[in-house]
Amino acid sequence: MPAVSAPAKVLVSGANGYIAMWVVRTLLEKGYSVRGTVRSPAKGAYLTNYFRSYGDKFELAIVDDITKDGAFDEAVKGVDAVEHTASPFHLKATDPQELIGPAVNGTRSMLQSILKNGQSVKRVVVTSSVAAIVEPRNAPTIFTDKDWNQASLDEVEKHGKDATAFAMYRASKTLAEKAAWEFYDANKGKIQWDLVTICPPFVFGPVIHEVDKAAALNTSAADWYNTIVNEDNGGKPDELLTKQVSCWVDVRDLGHVHELALAKDAASEKRIIASAGPFTWQAYIEAAHKAKPNGLPNHPKLAKGAANPPTAMQINVDYDTRTVTEGLGFTFMTLEQSTKDTLDDFEQRGW
């Protein structure tokens, strides 16, 4: 199976994003060369400076509109592998197409460009999400790589612009990942590469992309910051603090999983669910108080937490992660470690 390893050259799309910056950094640290795409030279300047110690092992490519046919035609030339991370993640969409358009067309245009000009490409990794997997269920459920989120597609189909912002986002990730697998299956006879998708749950942890203030953080890191570094729990009611509804992964671990997805034969044609485990906000709040008993210098009072938290977490949603833990041999860091490191990062930034 066509795995690649350092010093291979990897194209990373959306390289200035929260997750992608860690992917690029991990690859460079492991000896790969990286070509990172951003939408404009201005967005690339920070990366060029941040990765300057790697010299010509890091280079930029400008792709101003990922949805255009041929958008990546130049960027894919001469690379050994691709990590396609670029896709909108925000909850402000007022029309499903705002998210579905770039998610699906961006994925298709990348794969089309690889088909046309990516003769040296051996593996393509698409950053999907558990949003493409998870659906509401009446009983606690362990979701697997066989599951697909049909519920959000139905909701968006039924309600259109009145669907929830979460349903729009989840539909965009489901449709984009399906488009990747459909393209792969349709072209298998003509290509020399294999496909891997990575499905992370909520991604939290330290930030290395360009962000000058907490208010400008990306969606998942902003949610964490607003909840934890906020005396009133970011306005979340107690029920939301204590009910387990999702899982988490540290962004640095996710960077490593993106590297393993390239380097391991066992990753071939897999949907890799990269989840460290279930969380409640209350668990994060308790970990934050242990890590920083006096809060942060600019925020001495961290989230106060729920009034009467349960002693144990009732797990409602979890994922089968054996592909990454057993298949790729990866061990995720603890929630306590991730919390401490994230708060250290915020402290150093004076947030």
Q: Taking the complex as a whole, how short is the minimal distance between the CB of residue 97 and ligand NDP, in angstroms? A: 11
CA-only gyration radius of the chain, Å: 20
Could you please report the per-residue DSSP string of 282-304?
HHHHHHHHHH-TT-BTTBSS---
Per rule CB under 6 A, is residue 88 in the interface with ligand NDP? Answer: yes
| Residue whose structure tokens are 């088909």 | 115
Residues in region 13-42 near ligand NDP by CB under 6 A = 14, 16-20, 39
Among 51, 202, 319, 346, binds ligand NDP (CB under 6 A): 202
- The 3-state secondary structure of 82-133 reads EEECCCCCCCCCCCHHHHHHHHHHHHHHHHHHHHHHCCCCCEEEEECCHHHC
Write b or e for each residue in 61-94: b if 16 or more Cβ atoms lie within 10 A of its Cβ, otherwise e. Answer: bebeebeeeebbbebbbebbbbbbbbbbbeeebe
Residues in region 214-253 near ligand NDP by CB under 6 A = 218, 220
Hey, how many other C-beta atoms are within 10 angstroms of the C-beta on 258? 28
Among 43, 116, 243, 340, binds ligand NDP (CB under 6 A): 43
Q: 295 or 333, CB closer to ligand NDP?
A: 333
Give the x/- contact pattern for ligand NDP in 116-155, rule: CB under 6 A.
-----------x-x--------------------------
Show the beta-strand stretches assigned E in 222-316. 246-250, 271-273, 277-279
| Residue whose structure tokens are 């203030």 | 213
Q: Taking the complex as a whole, how short is the minimal distance between the CB of residue 308 and ligand NDP, in angstroms? A: 29
Among 118, 200, 255, 305, binds ligand NDP (CB under 6 A): 200
Among 123, 173, 271, 299, binds ligand NDP (CB under 6 A): 173
Question: How far apart, in whole angstroms, are the C-alpha atoms of residue 44 and residue 13?
Answer: 12
Q: Taking the complex as a whole, how short is the minimal distance between the CB of residue 299 and ligand NDP, in angstroms? A: 22
Q: 23 or 302, CB closer to ligand NDP?
A: 23
For 181, the token pair is 């697998």
Q: Taking the complex as a whole, how short is the minimal distance between the CB of residue 44 and ligand NDP, in angstroms? A: 10
Question: How far apart, in whole angstroms, are the C-alpha atoms of residue 135 and residue 180?
Answer: 20
Q: Taking the complex as a whole, how short is the minimal distance between the CB of residue 101 and ligand NDP, in angstroms? A: 8
Question: How far apart, in whole angstroms, are the C-alpha atoms of residue 84 and residue 90?
Answer: 18
Q: 49 or 294, CB closer to ligand NDP?
A: 49
Residues at the site binding ligand NDP, with contacts judged by CB under 6 A: 14, 16-20, 39, 43, 66, 85-89, 102, 127, 129, 173, 200, 202-203, 218, 220
